[in-house]
Amino acid sequence: MMQEFTQEMKNLMMDTIRDIHTVIPAKIESFDPDRCVASVLPYGKFKKPDGMMMDYPKISDVPVYVMQSGGQSATIAFPVKSGDECLLLFSEQTLDTWRTGAKSDTDLRFDLSNAVAIVGMFSKPNPLMKTAVEKDAVIIDRNGTRITLLPSGGVEIIGDTTIKGNLTVTEETNLNGPVTTGNDLNVSGNLNSSGSEMLAGNLVISGNITAGGAGTIGGMNMNTHTHTSSEAGYQTSGPN
């Protein structure tokens, strides 16, 4: 008799636990960037009360976690696309109050309808993680365009860079490639260049200028320009 009672209690507990969802890996089916919600398909199967195994259904209107703060004035945004994998977390309370502020009479604890998606967990490893560990660095990469924050405090940028605004440099600046700017360039240290620079704005340098390429400022080539004088008896000179 005790054995039968114990088995019944186990069955009751298993039936209760079966309806409690905690964490499930899933795949993005579609994403609505205007509402920041996705339709997702959880991996795996679940067992029905009759013992039949079934695939998880697609879950719609799942909020997608985005790194943001400061009243949404500070955000790191990246594209979310169909086929991306994610991790689903299931709230112990309905999300209705959080979404709209409306009170809900439903008691759907840990239900599939209360899922939140965290994008970024893929079953396939990312080779960039090996580079980050080897360099002890933070890496932001988009198809090879890369920003690497080194532990020494240095920053490496791979790819074309456009700066909309003034650029102020307080230490020595080494330019090994062509540089084009339509804004002011302020350099408090030395400026060393082996490329070609096109500057449409103002250039303010507190240190020395070394131009190994074709440095052009205001239409004047720093390596080929000459100095002229309207006064008699003065010689013109080339760059020095």
In the predicted structure, residue 218 carries a pLDDT above the cut 60: no
Residue of higher predicted confidence among 50 and 223: 50
Same domain for 33 and 89?
Answer: yes
- Taking CB atoms within 8 Å and a gap of at least 24, the contacts of 203-209 are 207/172
* Within-domain flag for 67: yes
Which candidate, 225, 232, 215, places its Cα nearest to that of 181? 215
* Within-domain flag for 1: no
User: What is residue 226's predicted lDDT score, i.e. its pLDDT?
Assistant: 65
Domain of 146, in residue numbers: 126-160
Same domain for 113 and 184?
Answer: no
Same domain for 76 and 19?
Answer: yes
Same domain for 132 and 109?
Answer: no
Same domain for 134 and 92?
Answer: no
Domain count, the chain: 3
Same domain for 183 and 201?
Answer: yes
* Within-domain flag for 19: yes
User: What is residue 22's predicted lDDT score, i.e. its pLDDT?
Assistant: 83
* Within-domain flag for 238: yes
Interacting residues of 19 by C-beta distance below 8 A, sequence separation 6+: 110
Same domain for 53 and 93?
Answer: yes
Q: What is the mean pLDDT of the chain?
A: 80
Local structure of 7: helix, strand or coil? helix
In the predicted structure, residue 125 carries a pLDDT above the cut 70: yes
Structure tokens at 45: 């199967």
Q: Percentage of residues in the chain with pLDDT exceeding 90?
A: 40
Q: Percentage of residues in the chain with pLDDT exceeding 70?
A: 68
Distance CA(207)–CA(189), nearest Å, equals 5
In the predicted structure, residue 214 carries a pLDDT above the cut 60: no
**What is the residue type of 126?**
N
CATH code where residue 111 lies: 2.40.50.230
Q: Which residue, of 68, 87, 119, is where some domain finishes?
A: 119
* Within-domain flag for 87: yes
* Within-domain flag for 3: no
Highest mean pLDDT among 3-12, 95-104, 114-123 belongs to 114-123
Residue of higher predicted confidence among 101 and 98: 98
Same domain for 16 and 108?
Answer: yes
In the predicted structure, residue 192 carries a pLDDT above the cut 80: no
Tens digits of per-residue pLDDT, 133-179? 999 999 999 999 999 999 999 999 999 888 888 878 787 777 776 76
Same domain for 27 and 107?
Answer: yes
Structure tokens at 28: 């993005």
Same domain for 33 and 110?
Answer: yes
User: What is residue 163's predicted lDDT score, i.e. its pLDDT?
Assistant: 82
User: What is residue 188's predicted lDDT score, i.e. its pLDDT?
Assistant: 74
* Within-domain flag for 5: no
DSSP state at residue 67? E
* Within-domain flag for 4: no
Same domain for 56 and 110?
Answer: yes
Same domain for 170 and 202?
Answer: yes
